[in-house]
Amino acid sequence: MTTQTYTVAGMTCGHCVSSVTEEVQAIDGVTDVDVDLATGRLTVTADKVETDAVRAAVQDAGYSLVDG
């Protein structure tokens, strides 16, 4: 199991956090997702975290990864 952290830009409220969490949780193999609104920090736990999949999920939610 691997944990990887990212920074998400553009989240402004709890609805945004929910949207990002749902999209990232839907990625195959992801077992845990934590999103912190204040810092934009996204923490993903999976057998093998695929950054491309995380980036796509965050974009599907309507936000973007910073430096990702």
Interaction site with its own copies (CB under 8 A): 12-13, 15-16, 19
Between 6 and 63, CB nearer to its own copies = 63
Q: Which residues, in sequence order, are bridge partners of residue 5?
A: 43
Sign of CA dihedral 10, 14, 16, 19: positive
Between 15 and 48, CB nearer to its own copies = 15
**What is the rounded CA–CA span in Å between residue 31 and residue 43?**
11
**What is the rounded CA–CA span in Å between residue 24 and residue 42?**
9
Q: How far is the CB of 67 from its own copies (least distance, A)?
A: 22
Between 4 and 7, CB nearer to its own copies = 7
Q: How far is the CB of 15 from its own copies (least distance, A)?
A: 3
